[in-house]
Amino acid sequence: MAHDSQHCSFVLVADFDIDRGAQLTYQFPQPLGTDEGLLANLMLPDGAEKQPADWTVFFLNQTPFNTIKPVLALDNEDETETEDEDARMLYVINLVRTKLDKTARRGAIVKAMAICTRYPFVQIFKPVLLLALDDYFMNPSQDCLARLFDAVNAMDFSNMPALTRYEKLIMRSTERQDVLIGRLDDYSTLNEPGTATQPTAPLPPAVRPGHKSSNSGDSRASYEDSLHRARKDPGRNGPESYKSASQMRSPTSPSEASFSLDGSAVWVGDESGLDQMGFVATAASASSSSIASGAPTRGRRSTDASSSSSHGAYGRPGENAPSLTGAATAALKDSHFFHTSINYNEHLLPVKVPLSTFPEEVGEGSLTMLCTTFSPTITTMSGPLHPHLHTNGSLTPPVIVLFNALVTGKRIIFLGHHKLAENVSNHVLAACALGSGCGVVLRGFIKRAFPYATLTNREEWENVSGYIAGVTNPIFEAAGSWDLLCDIGTNRMVVHKDIYSSHPASWAPSSNQLVIRTGTLKAESSVGSEDEVVRVQTKEGGLAQKPEFAGRPDSADNVFIDDILAAIASHYSEAHVRAKFAEYAMRFVRVASRYEEDLLGSTSIGYPSATYTERPGEKPRLGAGAFFTDDVACTKELAVNAGRIEAWRRTECYKLYQADWKHSLATNPMQGFDLAHQLSRLRYAKYISDGEAELIFRTLSENLHTYDQVTELLSWLPPHLHGLQPLSFGLFHQQEAVRDLAVDLFNELRAHPIGVQFLQALNHFQRYAYVRQAHTRELRLKDPNTLTIPQSSYMSRTPSNRSESSLGGG
In sequence order, what are the residues at sequence separation of 6 or more whose Cβ sits closer than 8 angstroms to the Cβ of residue 225?
A: 83, 87
Beta bridge partners of 551: none
CA 390 vs. chain centroid, Å, equals 26
Edge-first strand listing for the sheet containing 21-28: 21-28, 8-17, 108-117, 90-100, 53-60
pLDDT at res. 523: 33
- CA 583 to mean position of chain CA atoms: 9
At 87 the pLDDT is: 59
| Average pLDDT estimate for 231-249 | 43
Q: What percent of the chain has pLDDT over 70?
A: 70
Q: Are 576 and 582 in contact (CB under 8 A)?
A: no
Q: Which residues pair with 353 in a beta bridge?
A: 338
> What pLDDT is attached to residue 520?
34
* Per-residue model confidence (pLDDT) at position 100: 80
Looking at residues 604-610, what average pLDDT do you find?
Answer: 94
Going by pLDDT thresholds of 50, 70 and 90, the confidence category of residue 194 is very low
pLDDT digits (tens, 9 = 90+) for 474-525: 998 888 789 999 999 999 999 999 888 888 876 433 334 443 333 333 333 3
Picking from 242, 243, 304, 251, the residue whose alpha carbon sits closest to that of residue 279 is 304
182 compared with 701, residue with greater pLDDT:
701
Q: Which pLDDT value is given to residue 214? A: 45
Cis peptide before 29 (omega within 30 of 0): yes
Quote the pLDDT of residue 215. Answer: 42
At 387 the pLDDT is 92
Mean pLDDT of the 43-55 span? 84
Q: How far apart are CA 91 and CA 93, in angstroms?
A: 7
Each residue's pLDDT tens digit, 540-581: 333 334 444 567 888 899 999 999 999 999 999 999 999 999
Residue 156 CA neighbour count, 13 Å, CB half: 11
pLDDT of residue 104: 72
Q: Which residue has the higher pLDDT, 503 or 197?
A: 503
Query: Coil, helix or strand for 65?
Result: helix
Closest CA to 752 of 166, 162, 355, 311: 166
Q: Would strands 108-117 and 90-100 be described as parallel, antiparallel, or unpaired?
A: antiparallel
Q: Per-residue b/e over 411-429, b at no fewer than 16 CB within 10 Å?
A: bbbbbbbebbbbbbbbbbb
Between 13-17, 147-151, 656-660, the lowest mean confidence (pLDDT) is in 13-17
The pLDDT confidence band at residue 19, using thresholds 50, 70 and 90, is: low
Q: What is the pLDDT of residue 274?
A: 40
Q: What is the pLDDT of residue 232?
A: 46
**Packing angle between helix 556-569 and helix 398-407, nearest 10 degrees?**
120
Tell me what pLDDT residue 762 has. 93
> CB of 328 within 8 A of CB of 195?
yes
Buried b (16+ CB within 10 A) or exposed e, 683-713: eebeebeeebbbbbbbbbbebbebbbbbbbb
Confidence of residue 20 (pLDDT cuts 50, 70, 90): confident
Confidence of residue 304 (pLDDT cuts 50, 70, 90): very low
What is the 3-state secondary structure of 131-175?
HHHHHHHHCCCHHHHHHHHHHHHCCCCCCCCCCCHHHHHHHHHCC
Residue 600, classed as helix, strand or coil, is: helix
Residue-wise pLDDT tens digits, 199-219: 333 333 344 433 444 444 443
Residue 419, SS3?
A: coil
Most confident listed range (231-235, 262-266, 379-383): 379-383
Alpha-carbon gap, residue 164 to 714, rounded angstroms: 13
Q: What is the mean pLDDT of residues 106-122?
A: 89
Task: Write down the pLDDT at residue 740.
Answer: 93
More confident residue, 41 or 252: 41
Q: What is the mean pLDDT of residues 368-388?
A: 94
**Tens digit of pLDDT for each residue in 742-762?**
999 999 999 999 999 999 999
pLDDT at 86: 54
| Residue % of the chain over a pLDDT of 90 | 51
- Residue 668 gets the label, from left (phi > 0), alpha (psi -120 to 50) or beta, of beta
Lowest mean pLDDT, pick from 121-125, 578-582, 613-617: 613-617
- Identify the pLDDT of residue 2: 36
> Does residue 300 register a pLDDT over 80?
no
The 10s digit of each residue's pLDDT in 67-89 is 888 877 554 444 444 345 555 88
What pLDDT score was predicted for residue 786? 52
pLDDT of the residue at 517: 39
Residue 550: per-residue pLDDT: 66
